[in-house]
Structure 1
Amino acid sequence: MRIAAIILTLLVCLPLHYAWKAARARSPWPRRFLGAVGRIAGMKVEVRGTPLPSHVLYAANHLSWLDIMLIAGASGAAFVSRDDVERWPVIGWLAGLNDTVFVDRSDRRAVHGQAQTLRGALARGQPVALFPEGTTDGGTSILPFRASLFESLFPPLPGIRVQPVAIDYGAAATDIAWVGKESAGANVRRVLSRHGTVPVILDFRPPLDPAAAPDRKALAQAARSEILSVLHPSEAAADRL
């Protein structure tokens, strides 16, 4: 039933999206579709804090493919994703509709060009989100943030901020997390087969100014500390010692 509802929602949103694009207007329909998918999947979102509307790079912890739906629905952000997702059937096409920035993390020679692509999107005012852990394998723990993913912010662009986002699935986090060797299809089936709703908190933390950080490593650590302060306060306190 949930899969049918998602397909029906897509069929409604897709022609409206192309109509907006034909009129050369910024389309709200990817955001509305992704937010609807999160609700159809049973996620009941509470937003805390205020998402910056533009010129912002959201940095969030990463547990599930649902993270994309929830952040996009709350903020309208495009995403930074590994390049192989672009080749996934249907998913890669849908990601492209939402202006996803695809990066090849295995090719060091391509990193600079990809950083410039992301830098250009931020300079145009497009809100962009990334998951600096680079994987969901940490589960409910928060892995170190990859400083290389913040390269696009150095040298700092005027007016650009980094806003950490703590995603809290509460008691359902362990069950929802996509870890280990579970396939994408198996995880989607398992999550969509859950009964009832899951309360989820999206906590948009105070923005960070990249110009105030000495380098990208310090910026990555500061963003991670903000998220730890919400989800794992004792670990955040230990990091500050």
Structure 2
Amino acid sequence: MLLLLLACLPLYYLAKPFMSHNPVPRFFLAGIGAIAGMRLQTRGEKVHRGAFLLANHVSWLDIPALAATTGSAFVGHDGLAAMPLLKWLCKMNDTVFVARHDRKSVARQVEDVRTAIRDTGALTIFPEGTTSDGTGLLPFKSSLLSALEPLPDGIAVQPVLLHFGPEAADIAWVGEEHGVDNFLRLLARRRPIELTVHFLPVLSGAELASRKTIAQAARDAMLARLSG
């Protein structure tokens, strides 16, 4: 993984002046997933431009998976921005940092999200706000969807279900497990990590009336696919 990073860095800075959304982070994250033993399958039709993706959150592998399949940037909490190295890596992939506790900055954060969608073509948020055990869904926090109220023109809201199958609970990063411990535990697996990315139908009509209806409709669609 370190060698991959070292190989990608010069390519990233060479490409940076010539495009608004640099493709090198997508290549890097896809490589991280492959090195970790992740085998990806996709189901459904994904939106190719102007997509705001709502995905469930199970593992740190969710980010390499979505980057590999969509080229998406991500919405992250501002705690990540307090770690200089991690912030540097996240910003390379156009991560939008949100401060949930800072009401005064909501307008700026909304504009950051809308700009990121225009520049990158796809932006992913994890509306559960944290990771689940992969066997179900946590409640969705509609407050994280403020940028979609009102819905900007030309933006498609698409639920995405990340399904690790029967081994989801073993792969999930939950409870008191330290992030480094989870990272090393998954790398030590001898079996590949099977992940199916389900692109569910784009929300429409009354489902887009407000951030609350968006959150509920997306969660309902994911639960229906998870139980099916």
TM-score normalised by length of structure 2: 0.93
- Does 2:19 correspond to 1:19? no
Q: CA deviation at 1:46?
A: 0.3
- Count the aligned residue pairs: 228
Q: CA deviation at 1:75?
A: 0.3
Q: Percent same amino acid among aligned pairs?
A: 43
Counterpart code for 2:74:
F
Please report the RMSD computed on the Cα atoms of aligned residues, expressed in angstroms: 1.7
Q: CA deviation at 1:25?
A: 5.9
Q: Paired residue for 1:157, among 141, 144, 152?
A: 152
- Does 2:126 correspond to 1:131? yes
1:160-199 to structure 2, matched below 5 A, reads 160-199=155-194
Matching residue of 2:25: 30
**Residues 189 and 32 of structure 1: is their aligned pair in 2 closer, same or farther, counting only changes over 3 Å?**
same
Q: CA deviation at 1:24?
A: 4.2
- Does 2:66 correspond to 1:74? no
Q: CA deviation at 1:156?
A: 1.8
Q: CA deviation at 1:47?
A: 1.0
Q: CA deviation at 1:212?
A: 5.1
**Residues 210 and 78 of structure 1: is their aligned pair in 2 closer, same or farther, counting only changes over 3 Å?**
farther
Matching residue of 2:201: 206
Counterpart code for 2:111:
Q
Output one character per residue of 1:32-82: Cα deviation in whole Å (capped at 9) or x when no partner: 110111111111000111221221101001011110110011100000001
Query: Structure 1: 5+ residue runs without aligned partners?
Result: 1-5, 234-241
Q: CA deviation at 1:139?
A: 4.5
Output one character per residue of 1:123-163: Cα deviation in whole Å (capped at 9) or x when no partner: 44631001000001454320111111211112121221111
- Alignment partners' CA distance in 2, 1:139 and 1:109: 34
**Residues 119 and 27 of structure 1: is their aligned pair in 2 closer, same or farther, counting only changes over 3 Å?**
closer
**Residues 8 and 23 of structure 1: is their aligned pair in 2 closer, same or farther, counting only changes over 3 Å?**
same
Query: Structure 2: 5+ residue runs without aligned partners?
Result: none
Matching residue of 2:212: 217
CA contact (8 A) 1:139 1:179 kept: no
- Does 2:106 correspond to 1:111? yes
Which deviates further from its counterpart, 133-142 or 32-41?
133-142
The 3-state SS of whatever aligns with 1:90 is helix
Q: Paired residue for 2:35, among 37, 40, 49?
A: 40
Matching residue of 2:2: 7
Matching residue of 1:3: none
